[in-house]
Structure 1
Amino acid sequence: MKKLHLLAVALLTIGLHAQNPNFAKGADVGWLDQMEATGYKFYDTDGTPKECLQLLKDRGMNTIRLRVFVNPNDDKASGHCSKDDVVRMSKRAHDMGFRIMIDFHYSDSWADPGKQFKPAAWKDHSVVQLGQDVYNHTFDVLSALKKAGVTPEWVQVGNEIPGGMLWPEGSTKNWKNLALFLNKGYEATKAIDPKIKVIVHVDQGNDNKKFRKFYDKATKHQVQYDVIGLSYYPFWIKKDWSETIDDLRHNMNDMVERYGKEVMVVEVGGEYNKIENTHQLLAATIKAVREVPDNKGLGVIYWEPQGEKSWSHYDLSAWQADGKPSPALDAFKE
């Protein structure tokens, strides 16, 4: 009986060690600074006022992701996220014990699959100059963070770039240029600290064909990076998570096997008013990333969970109209 007990303990210990203890569970909170500036108040489930980052931490989150624009305006929805904003918010999160991810958009506003507009100050620059712009901007922001006592664990060079970035020069119609820009971001990041992991990020993480097409080209053009970042939004592809989670799992496993890289779901979200469904989506996504072989699934980041709809007009937040976090976020505790 004693031997059986010891065997059971040993198997349990092996199982615990097999699960990545450094798994990242977190939130992109680029709107938070603006929400607070406009007077938005956050509350715990019992109705007591509470700091938003603490509410996220209470729900098992250990990582904060912040986007950075080059020369943003002050518009509530599309502005802010300047170097100074990002340094201030990063330090605030870091001082609370959060790990930090910085997401470079290389634009004055949102960059995503439908828009990758160059910053106005770079508009007339040559390809060589644009490469240097990417290096200088990346190095400048990360240097300011380091001076403030914050070294990010991850840096994203570009945001959702299946069609490239810094259009038209850095479009995927010009892979040589795109590779130059990505490598300049990589070089600047590693010049700050070689331990920072560089992420290259593509949307629709359930679409293996799309990912193979992009990362095959990246490999061919000798793009340097450490982590394949995926977005996973069943809402935007008009399918339930239950119809696509196996495709996400297959794609992540294929990326690890095919390219020898780590993978991370750097954006996920579900509908704010479908609490149980969003909870199930998050639990299934976390499980799928944890099950990537050899602990190469690094974590899951919810995009703007605190961006409550009355403030943001965003359907995929995870916050309630009374200022309290959605129970869907409890998936990060589990």
Structure 2
Amino acid sequence: MKKLFLFCFYLLVLCLSCQQTTTEVKPEDMFAKGADISWLPQMEAAGYIFYNDNGTPEDCFKILKDHGINSVRLRTWVNPSDDPHSGHCSKEETVSMAKRAKDWDMRVMINFHYSDSWADPGKQHKPKDWEGLDFDQLKEALYDYTYDVITALKEAGVTPEWVQLGNEIPTGMIYPEGHTDNWPQLVQLINHGYEAVKAVSPTTKIILHVDQGNNNERFRWWFDNAEKYGAKYDIIGMSFYPWWLEGKPDYSEIIDDLGHNLNDMANRYNKEVMVVETGGEDTKPQNTYEMLRAVIRKVKEVPDGKGTGVFYWEPQGARSWSRYPLSAWGDNGRPTKAMDAFIE
């Protein structure tokens, strides 16, 4: 009897041990090593061929995954054109890309620009179909559009882990109504987007995104106002592009400023923080590699696990196709040394 009892006891311990091993998620697996690859459908349609490190043609998703990428970010525009560089990114194309990402076991971030084309600190053009609406109608249009896209994703079997409301919005979005000249209106627009996402996908985390992640004064001003007027959000998103800053400083000159800002935002507002856009010169892959390693390290060093990810913007967007100087792809169609930064 005693032997039988001991046997059953050890069997129970073994079962519990196995269960714990199979269900435990390592913190490293939860850190988002991401890429915005919204140009990919256009590149493929144009006949661009992606090669892996060995020079063999391969699916871009496979190449990215082999370099440590576990998450993708996808921009979506309201009524985009078919221009190869500033069009596409429709709801349908976004859903199709999200499904591909899921098939590759990658997590998904959706980036609502709330425009028909590029939205960034220099421009936040209202979608053409929303022109002439009064403010109540504009809020309703934003809610309905957001709800529709998230619903389409859900029906396709994709639950985005993150949704970004607006793209690089230091002075607001959907001008003129959503300009920071009128914080109460901007926050109403943000909150309508937040509520539309949560109505369909309650677990999805909402990101608000400001550029110049090394600029703490800029972020304190912005998120102090967001808090003051009651903006609803879960994560503070940052861009970090030394190349776009005045004087084009080397990353090493401002990386500590990024680290300070990440820590301050997480502590000041008790929010998770992410670098949702970064990139370096494709002609300096070693420097870009070192920058990415430093950015990843700074985000991971945020206390209490509140630093949750780093996304490269269009690493596969080779200059030979896009004319963009900050990809991580070479003229030979292969990823550069920079992409190795995401491999642990």
Which residue of the other structure, out of 263, 267, 271, is the alignment partner of 1:261?
Answer: 271
How many Å separate the matches in 1 of 2:74 and 2:257? 28
Give the aligned residue type for 1:319.
W
TM-score, with length taken from structure 1: 0.94
Shift of 1:128: 1.1
Give the aligned residue type for 2:74.
L
Once the two structures are superposed, the pairs formed by residues 107-122 of structure 1 within 5 Å of their partners are 107-122=115-130
How many Å separate the matches in 2 of 1:121 and 1:275? 42
Which residue of the other structure, out of 228, 235, 238, is the alignment partner of 1:230?
Answer: 238
1:278 is aligned to 2:288: yes
1:145 is aligned to 2:145: no
* Cα-to-partner distance string for 1:73-118 (whole Å, 9 max, x where unaligned): 0001100000000000100111110000000000000000000000
Which residue of the other structure, out of 190, 197, 221, is the alignment partner of 1:182?
Answer: 190
How many Å separate the matches in 1 of 2:123 and 2:295? 27
Once the two structures are superposed, the pairs formed by residues 47-126 of structure 1 within 5 Å of their partners are 47-126=55-134
2:321 maps to: 311
| Change in CA separation of 1:155 and 1:46 when aligned onto 2, cut-off 3 Å | same
Once the two structures are superposed, the pairs formed by residues 118-267 of structure 1 within 5 Å of their partners are 118-237=126-245, 238-267=248-277
How many Å separate the matches in 2 of 1:129 and 1:242? 47
- In the alignment, structure 1 segments of 5+ residues that lack a partner are 1-16
Shift of 1:18: 9.4
How many Å separate the matches in 2 of 1:307 and 1:82? 18
- In the alignment, structure 2 segments of 5+ residues that lack a partner are 1-24
Secondary structure of the residue aligned to 2:180 is coil
Give the aligned residue type for 1:280.
E
Secondary structure of the residue aligned to 2:239 is strand
RMSD: 1.0
1:323 is aligned to 2:325: no
8 Å CA contact retained: 1:113, 1:160: yes
Shift of 1:270: 0.3
Segments of 4+ moved more than 2 angstroms: 17-21
What fraction of aligned residue pairs are identical, expressed as a percent?
59
* Cα-to-partner distance string for 1:171-216 (whole Å, 9 max, x where unaligned): 0001111000000010001001111000000000000000000000
How many Å separate the matches in 1 of 2:284 and 2:230? 43
Shift of 1:48: 0.8
* Cα-to-partner distance string for 1:312-334 (whole Å, 9 max, x where unaligned): 00000000101101111101002
Give the aligned residue type for 2:121.
P
How many Å separate the matches in 2 of 1:31 and 1:211? 29
Secondary structure of the residue aligned to 1:116 is coil
Secondary structure of the residue aligned to 1:316 is coil
Give the aligned residue type for 1:276.
Q
1:36 maps to: 44
* Cα-to-partner distance string for 1:244-299 (whole Å, 9 max, x where unaligned): 11000000100011111100000000000101100000000000001100000010
Secondary structure of the residue aligned to 2:311 is strand
| Change in CA separation of 1:20 and 1:258 when aligned onto 2, cut-off 3 Å | farther
Give the aligned residue type for 2:324.
Y
8 Å CA contact retained: 2:315, 2:328: yes
8 Å CA contact retained: 1:62, 1:97: yes
- Larger CA deviation: 123-132 vs 214-223: 123-132
Which residue of the other structure, out of 9, 24, 31, is the alignment partner of 2:32?
Answer: 24
Shift of 1:46: 1.1
Matched length: 318
How many Å separate the matches in 2 of 1:20 and 1:304? 23
Shift of 1:21: 3.7
Give the aligned residue type for 1:260.
N
Give the aligned residue type for 1:211.
F
TM-score, with length taken from structure 2: 0.91
* Cα-to-partner distance string for 1:31-78 (whole Å, 9 max, x where unaligned): 000000000000011111100011000001100000000000000110
Between Structure 1 and Structure 2, whose CA radius of gyration is higher?
2
Shift of 1:20: 4.6
